Structure 1
């Protein structure tokens, strides 16, 4: 059966990571197309302000950005690129002017009399520092030329394995392209970029005489071929990139490894822990793709006294306190009706309120495998995994049964080791579940709510009605056997 899912788009409500304002937001991790370039808002933030969201101690699923911050970020990035182009043009103009003045001065010196070319001793003594500086600069430029001839050049390696120019914002996933681009810069700028490589955290190599030296293993890199092999072996093996591969499409999100389908990016992002178990919890053995996720999970094991900052309630775990705050103190703010300003406890409650009270026609999440549709992506996701994918991750340790939810398993375990704590106050019969006791009480109140559609008899228990219906099935079979079969002519 085809279990693919078709989801109609709904706005995402959350808190913007940049201005902390709650409202309609977007994920900062999803690629955006701007001026024929595909980049995420995290890339734009890194390029504009040198802020690396992946390096911050934040929950991976809370990197969100609102519409107002998107406009400001795009405006800042556009202004930054404008400034860089202007300064580069201005620098090249000045350098051209200086070079032109030197040529003119040299031509004039060739026509001057020899007497005027003599300089005073005082002038020579004061110019020693300038001569030594000029000599050192010439040596640096000579080293730079030799390094460029051997294929070595200044560049940066970002966490997403993207190479960038050490002089301007140019980026590429191919090292050869960056090498070709660097050669277009002025040799003085390239020499200065070589000097800055030692102090930059984004540069894995630094200049050592006329070679590059790896910051990780201290190996000297003499030429371009050695550089490429070293990046493949040493740099890639020593660096832990936190980026995960995602396949983002318009209607649905698929895992690129196991092809499993998800309704939202949060679920897909959490699922990637299965394929990238880089960090394991020592307490329970669960694995996570990044240290940030493991740190967030470790909070579930903390035990102590955690008071609520809004009321006098105290909880023994941090997660219980956060659930309490989200449900009791912040749910009304987040899930408020736009028409009557009533605070609702959840997204589902607000959608149900809009449909029942205001007769609003809601967008529904449709299942492509059957005719069912739901008003929340969570309900559709549960339907697909439970009914179509037959997902049963919670297995009983005492029998072969498995269940979709942890609560269903908990109710099932009562059959194995549960006590009969729910007793009837009329006949003293006891049951393991309170629900079973309520069904038993119908016997004493003569509540016969289950009516046979064939003969009209009523029963107090649904299971009794099911047993009674089998009687009608047997009668039909007996009648069919008594009907004489027609004779067929040969």
Structure 2
């Protein structure tokens, strides 16, 4: 992928293939974030305001994959020769102007033809009624390696493999017992293993030496069996009591110090810039992450990953009381609270 990106950067630097973003249905300039309703207005803007381009800025908002570019009328910035196809422009730069482009790899650009009343794919000449439909069509030419589990598509088999290893929500994540290294593929595997192998339980009661499979069970045992008081974290300034240390630290920083981060659009405060940046998505209309199945858009990649479970036939969460199955943990929790609240402790 990095070679395709380098090829694209060279083409964008030395031709009038104009890169853009498509957060919703408007064409957004990657350099100044101004929006346009059609291709001619966008090209006029690029010709007048961005004659000298900074390619790094063009990639600042690109999260993955190939960059979108208006290739309606490509002109070489060095000699002014024109081209209909972006690959021809790339070959021209390589052979005539000795620019570094590896022609054995993809150019790394999704090419759009955008006239005022006509939107076309610059690869197969297919016409589309709107720019979102055209974008989805063009992606079919590039993202042909599809995950058979969650349906997400990728440009290369290497990207697909990385997705399967680290990101696909439907691939069971293999864990190992820290002590005996036996692979544990599910929560049921872990539960059975720790029931049978007492010595593998990591959490040791400091009073009686009994071992537990998780920290919560150990704390519950120490409180109920040995009368160890629950550990709490009182605020020394205002007396508020917190059950978790991270909640106390966030409270103290936000309420009792000047080190917090204020949202400029509302009154919320955060204990770190990371959480402020995550919050700012709420005030933005940008929804950069699209579901490949139903085209619904989301402001965060995490929210998209959570949404993908809706389209999955795999149901990993089962109610032990009534045998109902769920494909999302939140759905399972809602069910448990609604129908079996007396048997669950969350």
Superposition TM-score tier, normalisation by shorter sequence: under 0.3
Please report the TM-score for the alignment, with normalisation by the length of structure 1: 0.20
Determine which structure has more spread, i.e. the larger CA radius of gyration: 1
Bigger fraction of residues in helix: 1
TM-score, with structure 2 as normaliser: 0.26
